[in-house]
Amino acid sequence: MVMQIPITRSSSDFLIWAATRDGILTTKSAYHFICHQLQVGRPSSSLGCDRDGLWRDIWKLKSIPRCKDMAWRICHGFLPTTQCLARRGVQLEPVCPMCGEDEESIAHALIFCPQVSPIWFMSSLSMNFSGPQPDNFTMEHWLASLLDQGDDWVTDKVLTLLYAVWARRNLWVFYHRWLTMEQTLIRVAAMEVVALDSSVGDAHDLLRGERQDKWKGPAVGIAKINTDAAFKAGAAVGMGMVVRNAAGEVLASASGKRGGADSAAVAEAMALRWSLELALDMGFQAVVVETDCAVLHGAWNVAASDRSYMAAVIRDCVDLSRLFRSFEFLLIHRTANLVADFLAKFALSSFCNVWLEEYPPGLEGILISDVSSSSS
């Protein structure tokens, strides 16, 4: 068949890229080319069967679909690292674009690159991958051994981190935007909030079809504090607080984590106490504090005879509230407390921080929606 192809003799030889119609190399076409080549050349060996089994295990996880998809691509070697592209005949230096030190294998790009391995150590997984990649290390076997351990929490974290690390690499390669390791971890936490949303039980008695209240700005000169807790039986309590002014501008936001709550209401009380402490530390003097927990709001005038832990926490809150120049405590509907809700879940996904005049990524949409509803 090859012999039948007519050869043009009129012009000199030049390189063309066969995977696009115009012969010009694009990253996208290179990626699809590699995927196709790997699929075509994939033997139905025992390794292939293992991969299928591994993939079935990954697919069963409750992780974010795009993270699972990423794991599948890793297991099949379908990530267009410079080394993979070079091996497939693409004319480029196979050097890692992040560190410039080594060839960019998949394991290097995602784990062993010196610009990446500290992220694994700084994460809640505290995995130490410093030093060169061991000769016998493969991503596939590493993921398989992780799944064998059967700890879905760990596997979930690993898949999310792999995704975030690769996204960070692409942000640099394609857009020349460099995310620090800490910024990457904040993004990981924001991604995990999305995953948590479906699994965290809510402390609120939310009736379907209830009217959708929205956040309202405080009077000028007053700081409005919204507080919330994310409670999951047997796990830590996530706490969120946000301070906004009359214009809806964020003066401060925070995510925190504590252990030791035995009910959702106690978790809410802990979040309130923590929010009041922070607000006092940050110097807010005239505040309106909002919770969406009716039990907490109703328990404010706690009886002196109540010796429960919940009562003790509320007494702390009452004491703290007297330190403000003006203080008001309101019950609001859950739909008016979405920012604090987000921040509480954000804390559970491992990242705790206090932001002054700032907030973590992922919140913009809710903040804008709150302001537009408050001014209408």
Least separation, in Å, of the C-beta of 115 and Zn ion? 6
For position 165 contacting Zn ion by CB under 5 A, the verdict is no
- Rounded to a whole number of angstroms, the distance between the first and last alpha carbons of the chain is 72
Question: Which is nearer to Zn ion, 169 or 345 (by Cβ)?
Answer: 169
Least separation, in Å, of the C-beta of 169 and Zn ion? 9
Least separation, in Å, of the C-beta of 331 and Zn ion? 52
For position 164 contacting Zn ion by CB under 5 A, the verdict is no
Question: Which of 74, 84, 96, 363 is the binder for Zn ion (CB under 5 A)?
Answer: 96
Least separation, in Å, of the C-beta of 73 and Zn ion? 19
Question: Which is nearer to Zn ion, 94 or 362 (by Cβ)?
Answer: 94
Site map for Zn ion, 129-148, x if CB under 5 A?
Answer: --------------------
Span of 67-75, 106-114, 177-185, 326-334 interacting with Zn ion by CB under 5 A: 106-114
Burial class (CB in 10 A: 0-12, 13-18, 19+), 3: exposed
- 113-132 residues in contact with Zn ion (CB under 5 A) are 113
Span of 26-34, 37-45, 107-115, 280-288 interacting with Zn ion by CB under 5 A: 107-115
Least separation, in Å, of the C-beta of 104 and Zn ion? 6
Question: Which is nearer to Zn ion, 99 or 235 (by Cβ)?
Answer: 99
Helix H, strand E, coil C: the string for the chain is CHHHCCCCCCCCCCCCCCCCCCCCCCHHHHHHHHHHHHHHCCCCCHHHHHHHHHHHHHHHCCCCHHHHHHHHHHHCCCCCCHHHHHHCCCCCCCECCCCCCCECCHHHHHHHCCCCHHHHHHCCCCCCCCCCCCCCCCHHHHHHHHHHHCCHHHHHHHHHHHHHHHHHHHHHHHHCCCCCHHHHHHHHHHHHHHHHHCCCCCCCCCCCCCCCCCCCCCCCCCEEEEEEEECCCCCCEEEEEEEECCCCCEEEEEEEEECCCCCHHHHHHHHHHHHHHHHHHCCCCEEEEEECCHHHHHCCCCCCCCCCHHHHHHHHHHHHHCCCCEEEEEECCHHHCHHHHHHHHHHHCCCCEEEECCCCCCCHHHHHHHHHHHHC
For position 340 contacting Zn ion by CB under 5 A, the verdict is no
Span of 30-38, 73-81, 90-98, 153-161 interacting with Zn ion by CB under 5 A: 90-98
For position 99 contacting Zn ion by CB under 5 A, the verdict is yes
Question: Which is nearer to Zn ion, 181 or 196 (by Cβ)?
Answer: 181
Question: Which is nearer to Zn ion, 113 or 239 (by Cβ)?
Answer: 113
Question: Which is nearer to Zn ion, 127 or 250 (by Cβ)?
Answer: 127
Question: Which is nearer to Zn ion, 98 or 279 (by Cβ)?
Answer: 98
Question: Which is nearer to Zn ion, 99 or 127 (by Cβ)?
Answer: 99
Count of residues touching Zn ion (by CB under 5 A): 4
Question: Which of 71, 85, 90, 98 is the binder for Zn ion (CB under 5 A)?
Answer: 98
Binding positions for Zn ion, rule: CB under 5 A: 96, 98-99, 113
